[in-house]
Amino acid sequence: MDIIVAGCGKIGNSIISNLILEGHNITAIDNNPDQLSVVTNIYDIMGICGNGADLAILKEAGVDKSRLFVAVTGSDELNMLACYIARKLGARHTIARIRNPEYNDQSLGFIKTQLNLSLSINPEALTARELFNVLKFPTAIKVENFGRRSFEMVEILLKSNSSLNNVRLSELNSKYNSKVLVCSVERGGQAYIPDGNFVLQSGDRLGIVAKPEETQKFFKPLGILKKQAKNIMILGGSRIAYYLAKLLINDGCSVKIIEKDRDVCHQLCDVLPKADIINGDGTASELLYEEGISTIDAFVSLTGIDETNVLMSLFASSIGVPKVISKVNSSELAKIAGNLGLDSIISPQNITSNVFVRYARAVENSLGSKVETLYKIMNDSAEVLEFNVSEDFKQVNIPLKHLSFKSSIIVAGIIRGRKTIIPNGDDVIMDGDKVIVCATDHRLGDLSDIIK
């Protein structure tokens, strides 16, 4: 599929990388020749140096033949204008990165309608939502939602003292009187879609799918269900910090943000009157102790420097902060941080790229179902997808046990109206369902792709 990406910064680079892995034909536009050169050399793609909203540049890029136009430059206004012009020139789908809270609060719906945008993306708001989900469930490494939060996928790391050690999956629900499904396991760097004979071991990274109330019911007797973090310290006064603080305050949490830029502190004071805004160097341990780091429930490091986030998170972890989360965009540094014991790593680039990959697959495929949600899990070695089932899907009303699925694939959940189902072999997929699928070693663009 022909896709044009305007903007080759960190987010644009990540999007291009993931879309190339999906097999798409990418043309990149950027007005910075050095930045453009880096991207075109790494990925061997066509690059055009210029303004992404310039009519001549867009025509040169072949926007009239593109299925998808993506604008992720550093300017919201340029992104919106570029998408508007691209649509007028014939682009079938357009996505703009719109980050400014002023555009996202009340006017976004109007903007999308007037500009005929297919989708708007706010990486900071998406990242804040993922951080918020984890802070509500501090035991988890990651929490993802499906079907308007009627299903959730929780990633946890199995500790050496866990009672789940040496438990066979076929015995799990009867032993703990719950309805959950372990849909994926990462062990020794390898991701598995386990069957009932799979035996859990210490060090396993588990992906567990269930209704939220069943998740709570399952984890409570295990003694690893921590209460929601209510007293949170955030290092760095970024846009992510703003969106996260807003979510936390609305949920009744106490939030303290430490930021060394005085002007940013003044801005945060204006928009977050219920948060404590501290002007100071958050890398100074004396300041952190003075501001109560030893008594908080969670520490979230959101500075613009990955290395600082990792170091300060390690410090917070070393003094016993119950939950520590670090923003790290570098995949190499994220692996190092994981090896050092930091299990909750958040990457805005990866979160945003997942949305673009999902949308591109939905645009590319129309065989009877569409990708509603896509998450990469198990350190990106597996995917969990949510599909909408239409009347064109050929395998409706057939018991799952009679369907021939490809290897390394599992139907993890079915959402039928307000009913949520952890399926067994006798369950069927029906027209209008939402189906949650977990897979490794497959690129699923349509629900039909799970069938041999």
pTM for this entry: 0.89
Give the containing element (helix H, strand E) for 225: none
**Residue ranges matching CATH 3.40.50.720 in the chain:** 2-121, 231-346
Chain segment 178-193, per-residue pLDDT in tens = 899 999 999 988 999 9
Please tell me the distance from the alpha carbon of residue 268 to that of residue 246, in angstroms, as a whole number.
11
Q: What is the CATH number of domain 352-450?
A: 3.30.70.1450
**Residue ranges matching CATH 3.30.70.1450 in the chain:** 352-450
249 burial level (CB within 10 Å; 0-12, 13-18, 19+):
middle
Please tell me the distance from the alpha carbon of residue 151 to that of residue 280, in angstroms, as a whole number.
41
Chain segment 427-449, per-residue pLDDT in tens = 999 999 999 999 998 888 889 89
Please tell me the distance from the alpha carbon of residue 68 to that of residue 90, in angstroms, as a whole number.
10
Tell whether the model's pLDDT for residue 86 goes beyond 60. Answer: yes
Tell whether the model's pLDDT for residue 107 goes beyond 90. Answer: no
| Residue 16 Cα distances to 20, 298, 444, angstroms | 6, 34, 19
Determine the pLDDT at residue 367: 47
Tell whether the model's pLDDT for residue 50 goes beyond 90. Answer: yes
Cross-strand pairs, 325: 300
For the chain, the distance separating the N- and C-terminal CA atoms, rounded to the nearest angstrom, is 24
| Residue 434 Cα distances to 101, 416, 421, 442, angstroms | 32, 7, 10, 20
One-character DSSP codes across 12-50: HHHHHHHHHHTT-EEEEEES-HHHHHHHHHHHT-EEEES
Which of these CATH numbers, 1.10.287.1080, 3.40.50.720, 3.40.50.1100, 3.40.50.410, describes 2-121? 3.40.50.720
Does the domain formed by 231-346 have CATH 3.30.450.40?
A: no
Mean pLDDT of 123-127: 94
Residue located via tokens 């989900």: 133
**Opening angle at CA 185, ends 182 and 186, nearest 5:** 160
One-character DSSP codes across 277-328: EEES-TT-HHHHHHTTGGG-SEEEE--S-HHHHHHHHHHHHHTT-SEEEEE-
Chain segment 212-232, per-residue pLDDT in tens = 989 888 888 887 666 789 999
Mean pLDDT of 313-342: 93
